[in-house]
Amino acid sequence: MKETKPTPMNLDFSIKVTATDFPKREISGRIVTWNETGSTSAGATSFKPGSITFGDSTKLLLEHRREAPIGFLKSYKVTDEGIDATFAIGNTTAGNDSLVEASSGLRDGFSVGVLAERYKNVDGVLVISASALKEVSLVTDPAIASAKVAVAASETENSESEPQAEEAETNTPTTQGENEMESTPAVPEAAAEAVEASKVVTATDATRPLYFTKPRSPIATPGAYLEHTIKAKMGNEDSRQYVMAADDSFTTNPAFSPVSYIRDVATNTTMVRPTVDACGGTRPLNSYGMTVSIPKITANSTVATVAEGGDPTGTTQITSAYVNATVIKKAGFQRYSVELLDRSDPSFYEIMLSNLRDGYAQAVDEYVIAQLVAGGTQGTAVAASSAGIISFVSTESAAAYNATKRTATAYVAGTSQWSLLMGATDTTGRPIYNAQPLTQNAGGTANPTSIRGNVLGLDLYVDANMVATTIDESAFIIEPRSIEIFESPALTLSANVPTTGEIELMLYGYVAAGVTQAGGIRRFNLT
């Protein structure tokens, strides 16, 4: 089985919480079990021993929402079975609720978010051999149902009475020094020891929240409301009652049902410039002039056999000319109020500037595509099929070498051609480019999780800025030295409008591109 190292992917892996400790405000449990298959965001997955590495700090989140941290990793222990971890829970409303939900079984799962760096597919299971831990979340439904839940606490049964609550606080004082000592990485050998309480805990105690006489409704956010609405429709009676109560309360008291906003901004822009990358990237643009003149040899010298004392003047001499590329400006503009600059959260300025940079990158990429269309050579007409792509690559790669004496290296495709590659099959229905693991007769790699791959030996670049249908110019075969691209840094220019209290900002840059060898750029030609 060949192990691949593709683009790193984000995975979420869930397992049940093993313990909560109210006096210490801790939640402990097994966050991953080695070599045990579970369900992740990428399907069936297992982790090899030692396949998860830790960073400097790890937050405990609620349902993978980065805006809802409830604690942090206090200590962990890597064993032959897996990783056991203990999390310190913050003294916040969300933290208090999380302790109650974990102890009562309402939210009793750990979900590990990792960045998978090295992995392979074994019989339909994604086996992770190297990954970096991003975060751990407390979730409602864990993937590993076999993990047992145990609750430990030092409180008495009548936890709802105020004197006893005060006594508990007295018996478990919290000082800065003690917090520092608790933060040491010492972890007991077993989960049972990690949650050992000061008294024997009965099954009745284990299911009773410590700080409330009866369970509260878990619906505190729009996300929780949606979750329990779905569960109610699936027949969960508790969720049905929670939804009924929420509907009644929110209807009669709308002021207590505020809109929940997050700081992450949804966008469909990106800084990726696949065609520019396929052409070898850009070169610095000179700080003067509006034309870039690129010297080009238009006719090569020839060498012939000359007799002794003969005159070689009959051979061809070298000739040259300039390929001129016009410098153009790409610019974007935004006008916004000073109030938006000063009072926005998340920062409008940062989001706006990032969005403008994405737009600039897209504009440059589209400009380079236009130069390939204008200056490249149209290939021999082929069909929009696997056989057509094979013919296109075999014919035009050879033609590019014949024209430039250099081999082509890149295959740039629009999304429609990408889809064609992923869906290509042999006569038995087996994928040609999207086989996992790759077969010996695979034509290359093209899969939905990466815009990079390989087509019959050429590096694949998928570009959403190209035409979205399989027509003429929906793909290019490129010898990178056949085009020159010059680019300045992206600059910003801002001006204030005192009369309105507004600010105008322009992001701009200069770019020039020219095809120097038409034969090195081969354009897809649909039959």
Kindly tell me if the per-residue pLDDT of 356 is higher than 60. yes
Residue with tokens 């079984």: 105
CA pair distance 258, 256, nearest whole angstrom: 6
From the list 465, 488, 495, the residue with the least C-alpha distance to 330 is 488
Q: How confident is the model at residue 191 (pLDDT cuts 50, 70, 90)?
A: very low
Give the list of residues 6+ apart from residue 135 with CB closer than 8 angstroms, or none: 58, 59, 60, 61, 64, 66, 113
* 220: three-class secondary structure by DSSP: coil
| Alpha carbons 476 and 323: distance in angstroms, whole number | 21
More confident residue, 213 or 281: 281
pLDDT tens digits along 147-166: 333 332 323 333 333 333 33
Checking if the pLDDT of 94 tops 90, the result is: no
Here the tokens at position 329 are 């400006």
**Burial (Cβ within 10 Å: 0-12, 13-18, ≥19) of residue 103:** buried
Let me know the angle formed at the C-alpha of 151 by 68 and 88, rounded to the nearest 5 degrees: 35
Among 277, 234, 237, which Cα is nearest to 478's?
Answer: 277
State both tokens at 200: 């024997």
DSSP 526: B
Q: Which residues contact 450 (CB under 8 A, 6 or more apart)?
A: 6, 7
User: Would you state the structure tokens that stand for residue 125, as one six-digit string?
Assistant: 């299971």
Torsions phi, psi of 73, nearest 5?
-70, 120
| Residue in 41, 79, 75, 81 with CA at minimum distance from that of residue 58 | 75
Per-domain residue ranges for the chain?
A: 9-212, 217-263, 274-283+329-523
Chain segment 200-216, per-residue pLDDT in tens: 333 334 343 333 334 46
SS (H, E, C) 91-140: CCHHHHHHHHHHHHCCCCEEEEEEEEEEEEEECCEEEEEEEEEEEEEEEC
Closest CA to 60 of 114, 116, 112: 112
Q: pLDDT tens digits, residue range 305-343?
A: 998 988 887 788 899 999 999 999 999 999 989 888 888
- Tell me, what's the pLDDT at 21? 55
Place of tokens 């060898």: 517
Burial class of residue 339 (count of CB atoms within 10 Å of its CB; 0-12, 13-18, 19+):
exposed
Going by C-alpha positions, the residue among 19, 13, 10, 11 that lies closest to residue 142 is: 13
Give the integer Cα–Cα distance in Å for 330 and 509. Answer: 5
Query: Length of the chain, please?
Result: 527
Locus of tokens 């999207």? 434
Q: Which residue has the higher pLDDT, 519 or 343?
A: 519
Bridge partners (DSSP) of residue 143 are none
